[in-house]
Structure 1
Amino acid sequence: MFGITATLLLLLAAVFTLHIVRLNYVMSRTPRAARAHALEPLTAERIRETYERVRGKGIDWRGKLPRRKERRYIIVGGSGLVGGQLALDLLQMGVPPAAIRLMDIRRPARAEFSSGPASEVRFVDADVTSEGGMFRAFDEPWDEAVARLPLTVFHTVALIRPFERSEALYERCSRVNVAGTANVLAAARRAGAGVFVYTSSCHAAVRSTGWFFPPWLREPRNFVQFVGDGDFWEPMPRPRDFASNYARSKAEGERLVCGADDDDEDDDGEPGATHGGGSNSNSNNNSKGNNRVRMRTAAIRPGNGVYGHKDDTIVGRIMKLRRVPTYSGPWVHNWVNVRNVTQAHLLLEDALLGPHADRVAGRPFMVSDAGPPLRFQDVYDVLATTSATGMRVDHPPPVLMLLAAYAVEAYCLLLLATASARTSTITPLKRLLRLLGVPPALLAKMRVGVVREPGEPLVLFQPALFSSSVTSIIDDSAARRAPQEGGLGYRPACTTVEGMCLQVVHWNEWIERRRLEGAAAAE
């Protein structure tokens, strides 16, 4: 009997080992289905040529923006990457600072907001998780010169946690991305907003990956995903089908916003502030009654991921770390520069105010950079080749990183399961030790502090992040159609290689300024 049991255990161990070896092989290569879509691997010569070209000529961002409109603008999340750039783009288009308002829980940290016209843009401290707080923020008075202009709201706030997937942790994202979005919608409608544009995410359409797959399949389920807008027209997937809690929360927030569109069939309206219904030659927002304003809504889904500033959470973070491990080098992704993202937001506003608004309202639009998607390794090569501070990428076996990710997730969920009530004096670790059978007398003598989840970067390495990083080919053809055809007329201003090279140009200039300032201070 013992021999049979041992044989079965050895057989199971052998099968598991073979699967792990095979999975590592699959994870270490560019998926066959993605090769026809991906850019050819970048050479150092091509990277340097692109870097020198954009350093000398730059990128024409302004030429892709629509014309200025006589409107007021509230940017919720105005201190973030997308929100801050939206404010700068509006100023570049000629919108006066008095007609722009930033709302966030912290002031903008970007240097542009410390001087010039951007420093004159008013900031309002507001938390989207508080409905009353949002109402008060939207009620703040405007300069009399712009107070009667119609109102556009850009809602760019997001709590980005793409590494969690447990429903027990969903509230961490949903309180901001779903409940917070509902609060902003209510405040915008109450204030008489005529246009509401939501920053969604391509993650709303990304599904979880089945890493442990049967031997007759070539690769894990959803290892390659072609991501567009089509999922929006289908029933909401089950929670476990989303790649992460973040993905689910963005999908729910997106449907809240798009469902709030005042179309012709469902346009009862709600009372709005009298200053929100001013006439505008650019607007088709017909007032319903004396103080009722028709609010048109839609969403932009930036392709994964958004980059373009030294403080962004992906490319900027990698350059600051200078050495990173990776499991995704051969995987293929579309990327999108923040300037292309803000262009899409402004084009969407333009379309919602135009004669074809009914064709574009109440739906999301995917957007990405021009050109084919890149392998993650191409991104690392661009940064390593051009950054003045250098960069090193480590390539441990990806399957070992995946197994470690399951261990990190299990540890975090174990802490959650053993966490004590707020009124209890027993720490999570002591509770865990008690469950493992440690005698109460020994526990009483132990001095064990409260055990917390690991911090970054370790907490990021959980299975949901792997699902969020698999090969994803973005289809933004809907956004590129003309407004009369139900699109935005979106034309990205750069490829990803160009956009990242320009970001490194700015990074290198910033590093040089810091070096000169340090040298001057030392004299």
Structure 2
Amino acid sequence: MAVDLSLWLALAAALPLLVYLYVRANDAKISRLHPAALIHSPDRWTADDVRRTAAEVKLKAENVQGGAPASLFSQDELPPKTGRRYIITGGAGFLGGWIVLHLIARGEDPRRIRIVDIRRPVRQDLLEGPAANVDFCKADIADSAAVEAAFAKPWADTEDGPEPETTRNASLQPYSDGVNVKGTENVVAAAHKIGALPSSTLPQDDSIIPQHHEDFFSNYAVSKWKAEQVIRRADRTSSGAHTLRTGAIRPGNGIYGPGGDLLLELYLIRGETPSWIWDSIQSFIYVENAFVVADAGPAPTYGEVYRGMMDLTGGAVKFLWLSSTAILGFAVLIEQYYLLRHALVRAAPPLAKLVPPLSGDVVYLQPSIFSLTQVHLIFDDSRARRAPEDGGLGWNGRVTTLEGMCKTVQEFERSGGLARRRAVAGNKTPDHGFQIARAEKTVEEVIEKLGIHTQDKPQVAMEVSY
């Protein structure tokens, strides 16, 4: 009996060491760049590469003529003016705002551009110059009557012309479908009613799209796929006297750049960010490249981006290395707690009151984010770069991730370190597309509560509302 007790005590004492050794061994395996990924991205950034590119980007920005404010593209690099009317749903936000600025920069009349969004623009570049003359209609795209009214509103110009969340449990899918799916259906219906003009079509390829709910990384991705089906079913349908042409572009990753992104600019705002994805090679997408799926050139690792931002800011931005294996274990516990409470809410509400809900951003640290971040994601956008007559978009997204990162840092510093205000409208679901940023914030809060580091955070005068 004494021998058995001693054995169990020895095993209990050795368990922490075994867990530690397992975590270290698994992290070492994860940190190795796989040969298959290195074929597509063989070279790593150096400090000289970062400094040289930053100087080139700064000089290029000074010489850009006729482009949008803070743009890396001159007017002659943009598509030609069409003279049509444009309705931009979500135009007050980050990507939508850049679409508005590019339309104006290529010569479109701002009076023939309309923003439909739940909040007015707060970005300074949308409140000054020609962009200040863009029409705005407040509407929740989940409200079909509001969307129809916004699309049917008379135009100010008098010329005759053509009109233009982290959880992955299937039972919680309806929480993600409200804006992404219902909103898309409302936009398509409103476009039909006003007789929207045809546009170019895109090649369709479902060969790499998951076929079952459990194959998607989260409910957010499922809702986006459902919305895409709505768009594609509307192609070649009647739109007044015209035939409506529709298409969907799948960005290769989260979009970053000046104007309020929730990736690189958020790192600049925080000052210090913990991360466990240093060695993941990923295709990034600079906001002005957003129409061609991914940035030009080889994909970098997150670690290269981190080190580049630290170099460019002189150490004002810092990144803390964390064990990806340990964070994944923590995320599994959070997911199980989250699902347990939802099950109790549905089956036994009195018991659910004994299990407090997860508060703050901790809910975003769930295993689904590892399906996007703890893997090498390299996208081929060669078909999207083809000429329209060959089934492509004819758009030259020439900015590399190194250039885009340098531009993002420079614009942030040019504004005096005050990020542009960003309103992410309608994202009430816990699987918002930028959950990695919130998950990192969650880990940062946990670290601070444990007292691992106590460096004061910079106070930034800005508003980020979700």
TM-score relative to the length of structure 2:
0.79
Q: For residue 173 of structure 1, what is the amino acid of its counterpart?
A: S
* 1:55 has 2:58 as partner: yes
Please say if residues 310 and 317 of structure 1, whose CA atoms lie closer than 8 Å, have aligned partners that are also in contact. no
Q: Are residues 141 and 230 of structure 1, via their aligned partners in 2, closer, same or farther at CA, if it must alter by over 3 Å? A: closer
Q: Which residue of 2 aligns with 1:132?
A: 145
**Are 1:85 and 2:83 counterparts?**
no
Residue 45 (structure 1) aligns with: 48
1:111-163: per-residue Cα shift (whole Å, max 9, x none)?
012221111111101111111221121121112424x43233xxxxxxxx3x2
- Which residue of the partner structure matches residue 89 of structure 2? 76
Equivalent positions of 1:12-27 (< 5 A) are 22-27=25-30
Aligned runs of 1:161-240 on 2, under 5 Å?
161=165, 163-195=166-198, 232-233=206-207, 237-240=211-214
Instruction: Answer yes or no: is the 8 Å Cα contact 1:332–1:472 preserved in 2.
Output: yes
1-side partners of 2:215 and 2:340: how far apart?
22
Q: 1:395 to 1:46 in 2, by over 3 A?
A: same
User: Is the counterpart of residue 429 in structure 1 residue 333 in structure 2?
Assistant: no
Structure 2 CA distance for partners of 1:256 and 1:513, relative to 1, 3 Å: closer
SS at match of 1:164: coil
Match of 2:324? 398
What letter corresponds to residue 190 of structure 2 in structure 1? Answer: A
Q: 8 Å contact 1:69–1:95 — kept in the other structure?
A: yes
Paired residue for 2:31?
Answer: 28
In structure 1, C-alpha distance between the alignment counterparts of 2:118 and 2:37, rounded to whole Å = 40
Q: 1:312 aligns with which of 253, 261, 264?
A: 261
Q: Determine the C-alpha separation between the residues in 2 that align with 1:429 and 1:94.
A: 58
2:391 corresponds in structure 1 to: 486
Alignment of 1:327 with 2:276, yes or no, is: yes
RMSD of aligned Cα (Å): 3.1
Q: Give the secondary structure class of the aligned counterpart of 2:87.
A: strand
Partner residue, 1:382: 308
* Pair 393,474 (structure 1): closer, same or farther in 2 beyond 3 Å: same
Identity %: 33
The amino acid that maps onto 2:163 is: L
> Residue 410 of structure 1 corresponds to which residue in structure 2?
336
Report how far residue 41 of structure 1 moved: 2.0
Specify the alignment match of 2:79 in structure 1.
Answer: 66
State the Cα deviation string for residues 85-105 of structure 1 (Å, max 9, x = none).
111111111111110000111
Change (3 A) 1:244 1:230: farther
Change (3 A) 1:235 1:35: closer
Larger radius of gyration: 1
2:218 to 244, 257, 260: 244
Contact (CA 8 Å) 1:107, 1:123: kept in 2 or not?
A: yes
Whether the 8 Å contact between 1:60 and 1:493 is mirrored in structure 2 is: no
The match for 1:501 is: 406
Q: 1:34-63, CA deviations, whole angstroms, 9 ceiling, x for partnerless residues? A: 112125221112111111111122233433
Distance (whole Å) between structure 1 residues aligned to residue 107 and residue 21 of structure 2: 62
Query: Is 1:253 aligned to 2:227, yes or no?
Result: yes
1:151 match: 163
Q: Contact 2:83–2:109 (CA<8 Å) still a contact in 1? A: no
* Structure 2 letter corresponding to 1:339: E
> 1:453 offset after TM fit, Å?
2.5
1:74 and 1:427, CA in 2 relative to 1: closer, same or farther beyond 3 A?
farther
Q: Is the 8 A contact 1:76 1:103 kept in 2?
A: yes
Is the counterpart of residue 110 in structure 1 residue 123 in structure 2?
yes
Q: Return 5+ residue gaps in structure 1 as ranges.
A: 153-160, 201-228, 273-291, 345-365, 433-450, 519-523
Identify if the C-alpha distance between structure 1 residues 27 and 230 changes in structure 2 by more than 3 Å, giving closer, same or farther. farther
1:121 aligns with 2:134: yes
Structure 2 residue runs of 5 or longer lacking an equivalent are 62-71, 420-458, 460-466
Deviation string for 1:277-307 (max 9, x for gaps)? xxxxxxxxxxxxxxx2210001112221211
Q: Does structure 1 conserve the Cα–Cα contact (< 8 Å) formed by 2:111 and 2:157?
A: no
Change (3 A) 1:107 1:196: farther
- Cα distance change on mapping 1:421 and 1:134 into 2, 3 Å: farther
CA offset digits 1:420-445 (Å, max 9, x no partner): 699x7x48332x4xxxxxxxxxxxxx
AA at the equivalent of 1:128: I
Does the 8 A contact of 1:61 with 1:493 survive in 2? no
Offset at residue 370 of structure 1 (A): 0.9
Offset of residue 168 of structure 1: 2.5
TM-score of the pair, normalised by structure 1: 0.70
Give the letter for the 1:127 counterpart: D
Matched, 1:462 2:366: yes
Instruction: Please report how far the alpha carbon of residue 106 of structure 1 lies from its aligned counterpart in structure 2 after TM superposition.
Output: 0.8
CA distance in 2, matches of 1:235, 1:94: 37
Asked if residue 300 in structure 1 is aligned to residue 249 in structure 2, the reply is yes
What's the CA shift for 1:476?
0.4
One-letter code aligned to 1:41: R
Q: Name the amino acid aligned to 1:327.
A: W
* Alignment partners' CA distance in 2, 1:309 and 1:107: 19
**8 Å CA contact 1:305, 1:334 repeated in 2:** no
Partner of 1:351: none
How has the CA–CA distance of structure 1 residues 236 and 377 changed in structure 2, closer, same or farther, with 3 Å as cutoff?
Answer: closer
Q: Given that residues 81 and 107 in structure 2 are in contact (C-alpha distance below 8 angstroms), is that contact kept between their aligned partners in structure 1? A: yes
Say if 1:91 and 1:97, in contact at 8 Å, map to a contact too.
Answer: yes
1:322 CA drift (Å): 1.2
Is the CA contact (8 Å cut-off) linking 1:480 and 1:488 kept in structure 2? yes
Alpha-carbon contact 2:216-2:222 (below 8 Å) kept:
yes
- The 1:468/1:61 distance shift into structure 2, 3 A limit, reads farther
For 1:295-323, what per-residue CA distance to the aligned partner results, in whole angstroms no more than 9, with x for missing partners? 00011122212111152111111111111
Question: Which of 364, 371, 387 is the equivalent residue of 2:297?
Answer: 371
CA distance in 2, matches of 1:18, 1:294: 63
Give, in whole Å, the separation in 1 of the partners of 2:286 and 2:179: 24
